[in-house]
Chains A and B, each alone.
Chain A
């Protein structure tokens, strides 16, 4: 065993329809790729937990044949562990079976070991042991609205979980159902969709039933969240009581992605798709749009992106890292993955021709990478035939 390297590096995890790829970089310009891990299983969710001594990568894995499971790696993908009894398992009496893990969300550094998961069928789960075992949130599972929640095209799932710094306020978004808020850490839940359109329903302004595609919190302003809806881009400044449109200035109000800056007030990113009925980038020109004033204005960002792109970007196929300046990453259903080291001002292509990208997550891993792990990573990249 060699001595530990202390250099800061970056890990980008790419979950696809047919496996997981991992990319590593020391400068966010040159990336080496390893994979596939979990070949022929889809990876719809990834969480990278950097709160402990070692970064833990958790993945939701789903085989069409063999079902869903959660696996984790504490050595950046060199080895994987799957709890024998399964990390997420519906308890007896629910008469439900886990279909797919849509979200793995490590909580704040002040609550080490706490990891949330959002799943299909619509459910929220919480782990206190770093994602090895989760418990079903009964407040949401037993919610009286449950029988009226529906399924989006991809399935009926809780796909977004946002927890505020104190841990008291938890927002969940589901398709379809909309936004639900808990003020007691997840014990009880109320729909909070006032102002969010559901134009696919007879009453376009229902209490719940919206198809909110993704929500994200402003890191610097308590009670401010952003939402990319099934048509509509919104912001709330009062913890979800009211949502206002911030779609002006965007080429389309449809899309799946909503990202926020890890520290700075008012900065968010979306990736517009033309319409519900036309799920391609507007005019076939892929672009990220960023606001730095909480949605008052938007800036188109497409440097380094292809001239023509007809694939959509799915809700979790985009992520930010925690570096300064913040990195922005996304992948398309055409299997291209792009990275920006300057908050979206310019992109490079990290990977291409992968299967449909379902999820990407990125993290800074500093002072924890041993030469052994680095060597294993290089070996894996070489064995996969992917140029490092």
Chain B
């Protein structure tokens, strides 16, 4: 079964046991929401860094599927095909 890989920014890697990416098996397309549920299930602090308690993606967290930021697609309902890579990158914010 092909994996879907989620690449983490270095600042979040300590919250995933030092891993630079997380994978989950997938035999078909899954939504970004269920993908995040799957890969952060064992890393609850990491999960809270990405989404708030309502499940919304934090404002300055960007997730890219096929090079497109998911807010330009269908948000957390955006589908990710088996075998794809997903990028998590913090956006420009702060001063």
Q: Which of B45, B56, B91, B94 contacts A97 (CB 8 A)?
A: B56
Q: Do A98 and B45 touch (CB < 8 A)? A: no
Q: How far is the CB of B76 from chain A (nearest CB, A)?
A: 14
Q: Mark B67-95, 1 if CB is under 8 A from A, else 0.
A: 00000000000000000000000110110
> Which interface class (under 10, 10 to 19, 20 to 34, 35 or more) fits A?
10 to 19
Q: Which residue of B lies closest to A97 (CB)?
A: B52
Q: Do A69 and B90 touch (CB < 8 A)? A: no
Chain A residues with Cβ under 8 A from B44's Cβ? 84-85
Q: Mark A97-114, 1 if CB is under 8 A from B, else 0.
A: 110000000000000000
Q: Do B48 and A86 touch (CB < 8 A)? A: yes
Q: Do B54 and A97 touch (CB < 8 A)? A: yes
Chain A, interface SS category: loop
A82 to B15, CA, bound (A): 11
A194 contacts chain B at the CB level, 8 A cutoff: no
Among A66, A82, A89, A96, find the residue whose CB has the most chain B CB atoms closer than 10 A. A66
A114 to B12, CA, bound (A): 32
Q: How far is the CB of B11 from chain A (nearest CB, A)?
A: 8
Instruction: Give how many B residues have a beta carbon under 8 Å from the other chain's beta carbons.
Output: 17
A98 to B12, CA, bound (A): 20
A64 contacts chain B at the CB level, 8 A cutoff: yes
Q: How far is the CB of A89 from chain B (nearest CB, A)?
A: 5
Q: How far is the CB of B13 from chain A (nearest CB, A)?
A: 13
Q: How far is the CB of A330 from chain B (nearest CB, A)?
A: 23
A40 contacts chain B at the CB level, 8 A cutoff: yes
A90 to B60, CA, bound (A): 20
Q: Do A65 and B90 touch (CB < 8 A)? A: yes
A315 to B26, CA, bound (A): 51
Q: Do A67 and B45 touch (CB < 8 A)? A: no
A98 to B54, CA, bound (A): 10
A64 to B92, CA, bound (A): 10
Chain B residues with Cβ under 8 A from A95's Cβ? 54
Q: Do B49 and A66 touch (CB < 8 A)? A: yes
Residues on A facing B (Cβ under 8 Å): 40, 63-67, 69, 82, 84-86, 89-90, 95-98
